[in-house]
Amino acid sequence: MAGAGTEEQLAQRLEELLSVERFSPPAAFTEQALIADDGVHAAAAADPAAWWAEQARALSWFQEPTVALDDSNPPFYKWFTDGTINASHVCVDRHVEAGNGDRVAFHWYGEEGEQRDVTYADLHRDVQRMAGALQARGIGRGDVVGIFLPMIPEVVVAMLACARIGAPHNVVFGGFSAESVRERMEFSDAKALITVDAARRKGKTAPVKASVDAVMGDLPALESIFVVRHTGEDTPMTEGRDIWMHEAMAAAPAEHEPEELPAEHPLFILYSSGSTAKPKGILHTTGGYLTGVAWTHKYVFDLKPEEDVWFCSADVGWITGHSYIVYGPLANGVTSVMYEGAPDYPHKGIWWELCEKSGATVFYTAPTAIRACMKWGPAHPAEFDLSRLRLLGTVGEPINPKAWLWYHEVIGGGRCPIVDTWWQTETAHIMITTLPGAQDAKPGIAGTPLPGIDAAVVDEDGNEVPRGSQGLLVLRRPWPGMLRTLYRDDDRYVDTYWSRLGPETYVVGDAAKMDDEGYVSVIGRIDDVLNVSGHRMSTAEIESAIVSHEVVAEAAVIGQADEDTGQSVAAFVILQGDLVGDDELEAAIREHVAVRIGKLARPKRIIWTDDLPKTRSGKIMRRLLRDIAEGRAVGDVTTLRDPAIMAQLQAQVSGDEG
Ligand code: WT7
């Protein structure tokens, strides 16, 4: 533990541990683990579809499915097609019916020290009322409902209320701009939006409804805006369209029967960045999704609902929040921690304070957050009692062994296994990791495909590459939580994931290696998608935002290696006419990107240039831009239309730094 020595001793211990290649599950963990031996992988591999069907029984079905996988029309796979189900029943009603209504679903903590315990019975009461309130406004099966809310219990209630009436939700991360919300409502033809008066962040209050209003005016499909009262701010309301959620709920009946929905009924759309400027509407359905998130949540995190307290530090606006704050934990009847704020407000030890307060036993976060905590130093976690923690997890990007070891020693006290979980918005749930009671962990290496999952590393023709060699990561067998399509864009779905190696091989978009034991290390994206602090960002989307600034002629965005955030956004910008870039313009462009997309897409670095390296067909060669930005010798330039540009650019960059 950090308290057991000085920072120097810690540094020395971490240095020594760097040579340890594998960490076996400690006996104290294995003894109580749900899965303590490795047989489950082989058991599932014998008949994966049947094995998943077995796992699906853990949910509550109105009509139990007799069909597992329908693969008659690849790559449009379906699961459990003759089953009927309702996600809000699985997540709430059945726990109340089983007598567990008094169990806390969320220990919620506000930024200013507020606390609210929300039980399963509380959720049941509120979800019923909110479902009724939505229906009273004519919202029903198949109508898309946007959700733009901060990390407050109402966001969970809103998602479950939509699920209850069969209205697919479309949650937009609270850190995105109002413009992004508008765009996502437009693309999905949302009929309603659920938002909030204002949101709090690090001691400040930002109006949300007012900024949404400013851009939302002209969407014909958007009939209703529900406003949750959170901060009590004065809020503009448009007669006939806008309604306070608490008033709508008070007017709704106390009881509401969940709709009996087919397993393949759409549960939600979640927009994620792709390699073009237009975000992809990733569509997930109900029965398969719940099967995948419930199984992986329970067994990867070894959760026992009666004993454990689960803390996932993500935001509900990302897939991690959908699957591992809302649907997985609630399907399993687990008690969770939900925190409204930032990891460094009101102080840099707030997560650890909340672990102590709530008695958290399993904690799940992103490598970028761990690196930030490392920077802040071990004194912050050392102030709090973390002795109840027994398992840790990471997600979102590769974790460097140093950060892994710091997490293991300082947060986990050397006794907690760590699961490094690889998955994507598209996969919906964890695909590659270690089962913590049954498999060794190797720092920096995610692990093996989970039971029922077939992952491989292949070459351009789809042939497996030798163990240890780099190749494309692919998934060769359908899994229940897989995306079903891109919303209203089947062609783009086929084109993005299945055109390269055919309709039976899902191309992930990551480069990876597999070792002799089948452990996969994920190297990074192979497309023009960036990963900043574990958040996916599209170079094309940021470029189009920069170019929409009036003085910009052209822009090229790349991801630059970054010690803290994994990658950071660097932009090469060509200005109109004879304009010369300066600090003021740099700040203006950064702000412009924040308004168009959101703060996290802002370029960390802007490099002014007069030209860009392009192929003869006009394609920007980002590989060369990355070489320049990272100060490497530039690679092969023979395919460039004008190789002289590289010398110019290099001079520009060294001039900038000088
Ligand atoms: C991409 C998916 C899954 C929720 C958060 C991100 C990268 C994710 C890992 C990991 C190495 C990882 C991949 C993947 N990624 N987890 N454990 N090790 N890389 O979801 O925005 O859909 O991004 O994140 O590149 O393709 P996402």
Domains and CATH numbers, the chain: 118-259 (3.40.50.980), 528-657 (3.30.300.30)
Lowest mean pLDDT among 317-321, 538-542, 572-576: 538-542
Is 657 a residue whose pLDDT tops 80? no
Instruction: Select from 395, 475, 537, 541 the residue to mutate for testing ligand 1; criterion: most ligand atoms less than 8 Å from CB.
Output: 395
Residue whose Cα lies nearest atom 14 of ligand 1: it is 424
- What is the CA(397)–ligand 1 centre distance, in A? 5
- pLDDT above 90: percentage of residues in the chain: 84
- What is the CA(70)–ligand 1 centre distance, in A? 27
- What is the CA(17)–ligand 1 centre distance, in A? 26
Region class of 69: left (phi > 0), else alpha (psi between -120 and 50), else beta: beta
Please compute the mean of the pLDDT values over residues 562-575 and round it to a whole number. Answer: 93
Angstrom distance (rounded) from CA 199 to CA 229: 10
Determine the pLDDT at residue 276. 78
Amino acid at 92: V
pTM strictly above 0.85: yes
Residue whose Cα lies nearest atom 12 of ligand 1: it is 397
Nearest Cα to Cα of residue 569 among 551, 553, 590: 590
DSSP letter for 581, please. Answer: -
Angstrom distance (rounded) from CA 231 to CA 130: 20
Angstrom distance (rounded) from CA 570 to CA 62: 52
Give the E-state strand segments of 202-253 in sequence order.
204-207, 224-228, 242-244
Is 302 a residue whose pLDDT tops 80? yes
Nearest Cα to Cα of residue 199 among 160, 163, 172: 172
425 within ligand 1 shell (Cβ under 6 A): yes
- What is the CA(536)–ligand 1 centre distance, in A? 8
- pLDDT above 70: percentage of residues in the chain: 99
Instruction: Select from 520, 526, 531, 567 the residue to mutate for testing ligand 1; criterion: most ligand atoms less than 8 Å from CB.
Output: 531
Is 4 a residue whose pLDDT tops 70? no
Burial of 40 (0-12, 13-18, 19+ CB in 10 A): middle
Determine the pLDDT at residue 525. 86
Determine the pLDDT at residue 163. 99
Q: What is the dihedral of CA 176, 178, 184, 190, to 10 degrees?
A: 130
Q: What is the dihedral of CA 66, 327, 494, 278, to 10 degrees?
A: 160
Angstrom distance (rounded) from CA 90 to CA 80: 15
273 within ligand 1 shell (Cβ under 6 A): no
Is 218 a residue whose pLDDT tops 90? no
Determine the pLDDT at residue 658. 41
276 within ligand 1 shell (Cβ under 6 A): no
Amino acid at 131: A
319 within ligand 1 shell (Cβ under 6 A): yes
Amino acid at 132: G
Determine the pLDDT at residue 641. 81
Instruction: Please report, for residues 93, 298, 310, 312, 547, the alpha-carbon distance to residue 108 in angstroms, rounded to integers and kept in the order given.
Output: 21, 21, 12, 12, 41
Determine the pLDDT at residue 362. 98
Instruction: Select from 297, 397, 496, 528 the residue to mutate for testing ligand 1; criterion: most ligand atoms less than 8 Å from CB.
Output: 397
324 within ligand 1 shell (Cβ under 6 A): no
Residue 92: helix, strand or coil by DSSP? Answer: helix
536 within ligand 1 shell (Cβ under 6 A): yes
Burial of 329 (0-12, 13-18, 19+ CB in 10 A): buried
> Which tokens go with 262?
């087919």
Mean pLDDT of the chain: 94
272 within ligand 1 shell (Cβ under 6 A): yes
Nearest Cα to Cα of residue 600 among 622, 560, 569: 569
Q: Work out the number of other CB atoms within 10 angstroms of the CB of residue 544.
A: 17
Nearest Cα to Cα of residue 305 among 315, 297, 316: 297
Residue whose Cα lies nearest atom 16 of ligand 1: it is 396
* pLDDT per residue as tens digits for the range 410-455: 999 999 999 999 999 999 999 999 999 999 999 999 999 999 999 9
Angstrom distance (rounded) from CA 512 to CA 274: 19
Q: What is the dihedral of CA 277, 278, 284, 289, to 10 degrees?
A: 10
Please compute the mean of the pLDDT values over residues 511-540 and round it to a whole number. Answer: 91
481 within ligand 1 shell (Cβ under 6 A): no
As a whole number of Å, the CA-based R_g of the chain is: 25
400 within ligand 1 shell (Cβ under 6 A): no
> Which tokens go with 377?
């130093």
Round to the nearest angstrom and report the end-to-end CA distance of the chain: 43
**What is the band of 263 on the pLDDT scale with cuts at 50, 70, 90?**
very high
195 within ligand 1 shell (Cβ under 6 A): no
Please compute the mean of the pLDDT values over residues 460-482 and round it to a whole number. Answer: 96
Please compute the mean of the pLDDT values over residues 385-395 and round it to a whole number. Answer: 98
Using the Cα atoms of residue 531, residue 533, residue 536 and residue 540 in order, give the sign of their dihedral: negative
Residue whose Cα lies nearest atom 17 of ligand 1: it is 422
Determine the pLDDT at residue 2. 44
Is 498 a residue whose pLDDT tops 90? yes
